[in-house]
A and B are shown apart, each in its own frame.
Chain A
Amino acid sequence: MVSRDQKTWRIAAHIVMILLSAAALLPFLLLIIASFTDDTVALLNGYSYFPEKWSLGAYEYILENKDTFFKAYGMTILVTVVGTAVNIVLTSLTAYVLSKRQLPGVKIMNLFVIFTMLFNGGLVATYISYVTIFHVKDTIFGLLLPSLLMNAFMIMLVRNYFEHSIPEDIYESARIDGANEFVIFIKLVLPLSVPILATVGLMGGIAYWNDWQNSLYYIDDKSMYTIQAVLNSINEGVAALATLGGNSGVSLSELPTTTIRMAVAVVGILPILVIYPFFQKYFAKGLMAGAVKG
């Protein structure tokens, strides 16, 4: 039996949730509608949910200058794929070693990993080191290496999974069969760890896709811009559109700048919007698992 009190609460909960969902989604809707608005109308009346005139002008512009945008897109995809793959390999290998508590030196290595969560050199020391010691400026390593490649928090998450969610018997029976550690890791542990590795991959992938800071710090060469870096440079001044467009030969005043910036943003978030609902489960799980131990 549901009491009146409970009913009131349930309705209140639905109302709050609907409001929050709307608050979360409506800005994205405005972004999308703005990108399909006619530029003169947008300039005159501002961005609106109900534009007087629709237009594909902004997207036509992107297609006309597809070299620039496709290149940035390709750069983002390349960095995301390579970065995520390397991230998963390194994270799982490190976590596996750390999960073998009986090995000598594991405790120190553990501390070594955790320390990175607590203390780092800060931006200045990091930047100068990368630029003067590793020379990553304007190379793809500038996008791949700094800050995103490995994450101590994820290592701990995977280590806990290896320790608690994979039965000890499996290791033992494999050892009796004469399998060495590497074979055990590849053939037994990895297949059993698909859910946690999916989470790590997803988080890493999103971090790479969304990354604009590495571009900001280490990339000056416009031909190496990722899609986020393009967005960032437009943000700093719409004039960037004209230079990015390169040889299109139109002056800035003729460009539908008001709507183009929104269209570029839509193109930038589209993959996340499309993929996210299907992976939501892994994502929420990963965050929650982290929260328990966080």
Chain B
Amino acid sequence: MVNNYIPLYGLQLAFKQFSYQKGINGSPWIGFKNFKFLFASNDAFIMVRNTLLYNIIWIIIGVIFGVAVAILFNEILNKTVQKFYQTAILLPYLMSMVVVAYLVYAFLATDTGLINNAIVKGLLGREEGIAWYMESKYWPFILTFVQQWKQIGFGMLLYLSSLLGIDKSYYEAAMLDGATKWQQIRMITVPLLKPTIIMLTILNMGQIFRSDFGLFFQVPMNQGALLSATQTIDTYVYTALLVNNNFGMSAAASFLQSVVGFIFIVGANAIVRKMDKNSSLF
């Protein structure tokens, strides 16, 4: 807990001109200058746009895939087979992003990657492979794919737990009436999952100002050419802080992320609480 509270004291750095020699308390106050510099740069727009867009798209895709896969998974009756599928699909969720970056590299490396050699040069018969790590236009798709690949097992589990709670007698009654499986899914499963879907979506909206640092930093291998597609608030804060030693702008971005993120979460929770008191976080 101390872990979380003492750094709060450091939030004031966003309004100071920090230097290691002077420490947190000794550094002079400079008001909103850090923020002014931040917004004067083009970076601010790109990183906020990327963070928000990726999050919104992934929330939508995540719901669709999560629910679909959970429903299909539930159709499989053999427990041993079910266990095998679950084990396999969850495996990527356990891997660190560094390892994921290695896996992606094995497929996308310009000279030695499987995709360039087997598909681009092999099947399509092109002379030159595509320089994946140099062209930013591919990265929204690559990142989305990797993100889903890693998360889908977890997404499935989320919806599966509420899917298992649905009373079996609904389906028995529907089957007696001769309803097809598709009708059952549309009329029973999806409506009953709706509260869970809405709840998880709102909670995810609360996280909309945060991004998975590992995904955006490791998987594109921190290539400058890709930044317009891969720069998010988290990667910006890191690079400004530890690579460029740009304390002021980094602190300002980090401060904004904390505060705006907090407002979003509290707002999301307030909505959830209004809908269903038991599901709210606090």
Taking Cβ atoms with an 8 Å cutoff, the residues of A that contact B are 5-6, 8-10, 12-14, 16-18, 20-21, 23-25, 27-28, 30-31, 34, 42-43, 45-49, 111-114, 116-130, 132-133, 145-147, 149-150, 206, 209-213, 216-217, 228, 231-232, 235-236, 258, 261-262, 265, 268-269, 272-273, 276-277, 280, 283-284, 287-288, 291-292, 294
| Contacting residue for B10 out of A17, A116, A119, A125, CB 8 A | A125
- Return 19 A-B CB contacts under 8 Å, by A number: A9-B75, A10-B77, A27-B106, A46-B111, A47-B113, A48-B114, A111-B282, A113-B1, A114-B281, A119-B258, A119-B262, A120-B7, A123-B241, A123-B250, A130-B7, A132-B24, A228-B98, A235-B98, A294-B200
Closest-by-CB residue of A relative to B240 is A124
Binds A, one of B41-49, B50-58, B85-93, B187-195: B85-93
CB distance from B69 to the nearest CB of A (A): 7
Instruction: Report whether B83 and A42 are in contact in the complex, using a CB–CB cutoff of 8 Å.
Output: no
Q: Say whether A269 contacts B258, CB under 8 Å.
A: no
Q: Do residues A150 and B6 form an inter-chain contact, with CB atoms below 8 A?
A: no
CA gap between A280 and B16 in the complex, in Å? 48
Interface of A is mostly: helix
Pick the most buried of A118, A121, A265: most chain B CB atoms within 10 A of its CB: A121
For the A-B complex with A34-B106, A46-B116, A118-B266 known, give 15 more contacts whose Cβ atoms are closer than 8 Å.
A10-B75, A13-B73, A13-B75, A28-B91, A47-B114, A125-B7, A125-B9, A125-B11, A133-B24, A146-B3, A235-B98, A276-B87, A276-B91, A288-B157, A294-B158
Taken together as a complex, chains A and B put the C-alpha atoms of A176 and B112 apart, in Å, by 71
A152 to B17 alpha-carbon distance, docked (Å): 33
B248-267 vs A, Cβ < 8 Å mask (1 yes, 0 no):
00110011011001100110
A120-B140 Cα distance, complex, nearest whole Å: 28
Task: State in angstroms the CA–CA spacing of A47 and B106 once bound together.
Answer: 6
- B102 closest partner in A (C-beta): A265
Tell me whether A129 and B112 are in contact (CB under 8 A): no
Name the A residues within 8 Å of B118 (CB-CB): 46, 48
Q: How many A-B residue pairs have CB under 8 A?
A: 243
> With A124-B237, A272-B95, A280-B83 as given contacts, are A294 and B203 in contact (CB-CB < 8 Å)?
yes
Q: List chain A residues, Cβ under 8 A from B111.
A: 43, 46
Structural contact, A125 and B8, CB atoms closer than 8 A = yes
The CA of A126 and the CA of B13, in the complex, are separated in Å by: 11
Please classify the interface of chain B as helix (H, G, I), strand (E, B), loop, or mixed, using the class held by over half of its residues: helix
Residues of A within 8 A of B95 (CB): 210, 269, 272
The docked-state distance in angstroms from the alpha carbon of A121 to that of B7 is: 5
* Chain B hits for A128, CB < 8 A: 7, 10, 13, 18, 24
A123 touches B18 (CB 8 A): no
Q: Are B254 and A24 in contact (CB-based, < 8 A)? A: no
Contact indicator A118/B265 (Cβ below 8 Å):
yes
- Write the chain A residue with the least CB distance to B165: A292
